[in-house]
Amino acid sequence: MSTPSAPLPGGTWSLGDLTVTRFGYGAMQLAGPGVMGPPADHDGALAVLREAADLGITHIDTAGAYGPRFTNQLIREALNPHSEYPQHSAPPHIVTKVGAVRDQQGGWPPARKPDELRRAVDENLEDLGLTSLDVVNLRLGDAQGPRPGSLAEPFETLVELQQQGLIRHLGVSNATAEQVAEAQTIAPIVCVQNMYNLAYRQDDELIDDLADKGIAYVPFFPLGGFTPLQSTALSAVAARLGATPMSVALAWLLRRSPNILLIPGTSSVAHLRENVAGAGLPLSDEELAELDKIGR
């Protein structure tokens, strides 16, 4: 166990009554290849989660579909209060997703009927060893991105589970701006989790609107996902700073808006530490202006 580190870059943000670090950790990569099955290195996966907690990260992103279920079971094993959890660290808040499952081909078919959502919440509670989930995002759309249409029926099911005390706070993921607005007419939300990064800027207006309302925006694939970001301008700024392009991309996101929370994922302790250091990279106003042009 390492000693407590310096404050994480970006400070903190409030998800309702929960205070989380703006630099979080996405657990998707802890599952096996294709986000299916157990990790090849079980102890290594536990080490990454414990290092995240030891660094002071209090925002862990996950989903029952990762594995499926293996990632949540790893989180329970690594971070429950009865494990070798770093006692000097604040307990992490777990943000999970429901609304999709895995098929035998590794696809992500939707599962948004009331009974499917109730089952998903129950499985998350069981695998994480919790009696209430901190935040549950309703995953919409498909693997190609958001799709238009009302979210009322599935979201109202989650509201019912919230009223039963199984969920503390709600959010939406892979959603259109119209779906985000519709969700807010049904119940308060604390976060929106969509694809966004330096090169993929479709949600710029939505981010600013959510910031005005005090709602977090959590970009998934902040470094490009399975296809790493490629940009001449990004590489040029990184070269001048003596940093990696991925470090610059993370640092830019933290500077883009105060309501942006980062959840870069990795299965490596060393890479996790690199991501934390990279997100704290100082960027000048000139560098920010140069980077800001990339996705526009």
Which residues lie across from 18 on neighbouring strands?
15
pLDDT at residue 120 tops 70? yes
Q: Tell the residue number behind the tokens 């499985």, with chain if given.
A: 123
3-state DSSP helix/strand/coil % of the chain, to nearest 5: 40, 20, 40
CA torsion sign, 43 to 49 to 53 to 54?
Answer: positive
Domain limits, the chain: 12-228+251-282
- Does the annotation count 196 as an active-site position? no
pLDDT at residue 31 tops 80? yes
Determine the pLDDT at residue 232: 85
Q: How far apart are CA 254 and CA 242, in angstroms?
A: 19
Determine the pLDDT at residue 2: 45
Determine the pLDDT at residue 231: 81
Tokens of 182: 């519709």
Report the predicted TM-score, pTM, of the whole model to 2 decimal places. Answer: 0.94
pLDDT at residue 174 tops 70? yes
Q: Summarize pLDDT for 47-100 with one digit per residue, the tens.
A: 999 999 999 999 999 999 999 999 999 999 998 755 555 555 677 999 999 999
Q: What proportion of the chain, given as a percentage, has pLDDT over 70? A: 94
Catalytic residue among 25, 66, 196, 200: 66
Q: How far apart are CA 185 and CA 180, in angstroms?
A: 9
The answer to whether 222 and 197 have CB atoms below 8 angstroms apart is yes
Q: How far apart are CA 73 and CA 129, in angstroms?
A: 8
What's the mean pLDDT when you consider all of the chain?
93
> Options 3.20.20.100, 3.30.1370.100, 3.30.1600.10, 1.10.8.80; which CATH number does 12-228+251-282 get?
3.20.20.100
Q: Summarize pLDDT for 187-208 with one digit per residue, the tens.
A: 999 999 999 999 899 999 999 9
